[in-house]
Amino acid sequence: GESVGLHLPTLSVQEGDNSIINCAYSNSASDYFIWYKQESGKGPQFIIDIRSNMDKRQGQRVTVLLNKTVKHLSLQIAATQPGDSAVYFCAENWGHNTDKLIFGTGTRLQVFP
Amino acid sequence: DVKVTQSSRYLVKRTGEKVFLECVQDMDHENMFWYRQDPGLGLRLIYFSYDVKMKEKGDIPEGYSVSREKKERFSLILESASTNQTSMYLCASMSQTYEQYFGPGTRLTVT
């Protein structure tokens, strides 16, 4: 069915470590994927995106990996900081050429000193 | 930078009241969306709009309607608010490259 899921609802990491947040998507026809960060009391904020013709994309301290074979998406955050504490959502556009995004339920990242 | 604003951050309404949630974006985007966000359920699409006066039902449209009279403004209407509509409501505007920009959200409580 239409679903974008996350393996871990909560991830706790020590400041300075790398974080990896995973996501499984369900529609093999989806060709665009986004990661959002949502801090408490705020709306989701765009972090990074990737299209299906790529398997890796890097931003500032963040990397998104796409494995189309197993329909898996991950967000890697390098040198995690307290300011990275938030809920992270992955989203896919539901099929080619649609404007509808399907969101996962979110993973909470907690960074402790 | 894209700016999406929502008329209220917090709203408390009584059961049966008509509720209007307003959303404005300043980037001339054609596509706008209304979601609700509940713990454990993530973001669920209520309605979206491709252009002025055009609307499409999302996954959970029951109990809601929308209005898009101007390109920059997309309104969500609860005709008769019920307690199960207590939620965080998020508006988004989408660029031509699929990036969705969200407003700060409106936390609605229906008593």
pLDDT tens, B29-76?
999 999 999 877 788 999 999 999 999 999 899 999 999 999 999 999
Over the stretch A81-91, which tens digit does the pLDDT of each residue have? 999 999 998 99
Q: How far apart are CA A105 and CA B55, in angstroms?
A: 25
Q: How far apart are CA B109 and CA A24, in angstroms?
A: 32
Report residue A51: phi and psi, to 5°: -105, 160
Chain-chain contact of A43 with B31 (C-beta, under 8 angstroms): no
Task: Summarize the confidence of residues A81-103 as an average pLDDT.
Answer: 84
Which of B40, B92, B99 is closest, CB to CB, to A49? B99
Domain with B20 in it: what CATH number? 2.60.40.10
Chain A: give the shortest CA distance to residue B53, in Å.
17
Chain-chain contact of B100 with A46 (C-beta, under 8 angstroms): yes
CA nearest to B48 within chain A: A100
pLDDT at B1: 66
What percent of chain A shows pLDDT beyond 70? Answer: 89
Structural domains of chain A, with CATH: 4-112 (2.60.40.10)
A37 contact residues in B (CB cutoff 8 A): none
> Residue B12 sits in which domain range?
4-102
pLDDT at B19: 97
Size of interface A-B (CB pairs under 8 A): 48
Chain-chain contact of B104 with A42 (C-beta, under 8 angstroms): yes
Hey, is the C-beta of B2 within 8 angstroms of any chain A C-beta? no
Hey, is the C-beta of B87 within 8 angstroms of any chain A C-beta? no
| Number of domains chain B is built from | 1
| Cα B31 off chain centre by | 12
Chain B: give the shortest CA distance to residue A85, in Å.
17
Hey, is the C-beta of A88 within 8 angstroms of any chain B C-beta? no
Q: How far apart are CA A36 and CA B105, in angstroms?
A: 15
Confidence of residue A2 (pLDDT cuts 50, 70, 90): very low
pLDDT at A76: 98
Please state whether beta strands A72-77 and B19-25 pair in parallel, antiparallel, or not at all (unpaired): unpaired
Over the stretch A16-67, which tens digit does the pLDDT of each residue have? 999 999 999 888 888 899 999 999 888 899 999 999 999 999 999 999 999 9
A1 contact residues in B (CB cutoff 8 A): none
Task: Answer yes or no: is B67 within a domain.
Answer: yes
pLDDT at A97: 54
Beta strands in A1-113 (DSSP E): 4-5, 10-14, 19-25, 32-38, 45-51, 56-58, 62-67, 72-77, 86-93, 101-103, 107-112
Task: Answer yes or no: is B88 within a domain.
Answer: yes
Task: Answer yes or no: is B51 within a domain.
Answer: yes
Q: How far apart are CA B65 and CA B82, in angstroms?
A: 14
Over the stretch A5-27, which tens digit does the pLDDT of each residue have? 444 488 999 999 999 999 998 88
Task: Answer yes or no: is B109 within a domain.
Answer: no
